[in-house]
Amino acid sequence: MKKKWTSLLAAFVMVFVLATGVQAQGNTATASEAVKVWINDEEVQFGANAPVEVDGTTLVPVRAVLEALGYTLVWDEAKQVVIAEKYGFSIALQIGNPVGAVNGASKELTAAPQILKGSTYVPVAFISEAIGYELKWDAANRSVLLTKEASKGYLWKVEKDGVEVHLMGSIHVGDPNLYPLRDEVEQAFDDSDHLVVEVDVTKAGEESVQKEIAAIQVYADGTTLKDHISADTYTRVQSFLKDLGLELNAYDTFKPWSVNLDMSNYASATAGYQGGIGIDMYYLNRALASNKPVLELESFTSQLQVFDSFSKELQESQLNETLDGIFGVKETTEPTLNALADLWIQGDDAGLEALVAELHKEEEFYEKLVKNRHAGMLEKIEGYLNNEKKESYFVVAGYLHMLGEDGLITLLKEKGYTVTRI
């Protein structure tokens, strides 16, 4: 654990300006009736270190608020940095620095963190924004209200002879608005004996995996990217690289689908979505923290081979769709990340059915990326349902795999399993 926090500190310090933190003096706070803070229906207990107002901004002891939300905090005295983490989601703040970090991304504060009465105080508005909670001010009771309904998500329970497998339809990239999750969802995970994900991305840094990925995503026949896409598309790729200040040939050894995935990750991060706080990673972090065994439905190789199997035409069209989104071209037909996330937050089955039906119209894309993968997934899920030890499994896979005529839920029902939407 110490090594993990050390690496987090090193990463977050890069976000901060190299300046010495300045401790604020206690007399900067206005003398007034104490402000209360409520998280949903629970009042945060501050003890002697109550919230204060400084120049019209409500500051709260960061430890009390974030620990009430289940975060673990560490303090680096030398750097005057506090880091809070919960299942991979991180917040970092430095005394005297008006720029903090939320999962590695820089975020400005309305007032710099300061030390009052021995505790680190920060604007409560920054906390609410960082964790995706709505903030309201109850003037009559001098109370700050942090509220948020739990996301509904997509969860089903599949049963056979007393064995339970929960299927969680996930969204692979996320932002704070995805959380918290419903108690029923969290309980299903807590009660399971195993976590199953499409691919265990925590292994991505292993040398063998890196070699496996590189062998698929780059050309080995002497050709380059511009030999496989049109001149116009290649020029657009170069424009993207130029805008980022990168070498114009940076993508030359990579295949179009690999370039598209990299650009998609960039577009997601720019929109505020990161794989590190997606549903898959959230549960991987929880499993690691509780020593719950982790299994895989697929492998890095099998997933990348799906993209590698796309026709030349599909690879280029997908690449251009991503570029359309990055460059703000109105003709792009891709649903926005916000729309996809909202669908998940609402747990909208009808909306998901409609999305899958729309994807079905793109025959090659749908067949290879969605439908053809279900046979292998289904075989493993049935294996879990027939395990002799009667152990339970919590399976996390992209929500596009769940519904529709070819979806896992449909296929399991057709096989006679008892399936319940939770």
Q: How does pLDDT run across 278-292, given as a tens digit for each residue?
A: 999 999 999 998 999
Element (H, E) at 207: helix 207-217
Report the 10 Å Cβ neighbour count for 50. 16
Element (H, E) at 72: strand 72-76
Amino acid in position 128: S
User: How is residue 348 written in tokens?
Assistant: 């909208």
Q: Quick one: 109 and 238 in the same domain? A: no
The per-residue pLDDT for 277 is 82
Q: Quick one: 196 and 113 in the same domain? A: no
Q: Quick one: 215 and 249 in the same domain? A: yes
Number of domains in the chain: 2
Give 418 or 202, the one with higher predicted confidence: 418
pTM value surpassing 0.95: no
Q: Quick one: 165 and 214 in the same domain? A: yes
Range of the domain at 44: 2-147
Radius of gyration of the chain (CA): 24
pLDDT, average across residues 192-217: 91
Torsion region of 387: left, alpha or beta (phi above 0 gives left; psi -120 to 50 gives alpha): beta
Task: Give the chain's length.
Answer: 422
Q: Quick one: 22 and 134 in the same domain? A: yes
Q: At residue 305, does pLDDT exceed 60?
A: yes
Q: What's the CATH number where 104 sits?
A: 3.30.457.10
The region of weakest confidence among 39-43, 270-274, 319-323 is: 270-274
Return d(Cα 386, Cα 335) in angstroms, integer: 38
The per-residue pLDDT for 7 is 44
Contact (CB, 8 A) for 302 and 239: no
Q: Quick one: 233 and 352 in the same domain? A: yes
Q: Quick one: 136 and 165 in the same domain? A: no
Q: Which of 129, 132, 138, 118 is nearest to 37 (CA)?
A: 138
Sheet containing 72-76: give its strands across. Answer: 72-76, 81-86, 89-94, 99-102, 105-108
User: How is residue 129 written in tokens?
Assistant: 């924004």
Q: Quick one: 195 and 333 in the same domain? A: yes
114, 147, 180 - which closes a domain: 147
Q: Quick one: 280 and 389 in the same domain? A: yes
112, 147, 182 - which closes a domain: 147
Return d(Cα 189, Cα 166) in angstroms, integer: 8
Find the DSSP H helices in 309-373. Answer: 312-327, 337-346, 349-360, 363-369
Q: Quick one: 192 and 301 in the same domain? A: yes
Give 21 or 300, the one with higher predicted confidence: 300
DSSP 53: E
Q: Quick one: 227 and 261 in the same domain? A: yes
User: How is residue 277 written in tokens?
Assistant: 């706080």
Element (H, E) at 75: strand 72-76
Q: For the chain, what is the total number of helices (H) and then of strands (E)?
A: 15, 19
State yes or no: cis peptide before 180, omega within 30 of 0. Answer: yes
User: How is residue 135 written in tokens?
Assistant: 């903030």
User: How is residue 403 written in tokens?
Assistant: 């519904």
Q: Quick one: 115 and 167 in the same domain? A: no
Give tens-digit pLDDT for 335-360: 688 889 999 999 999 999 999 999 99
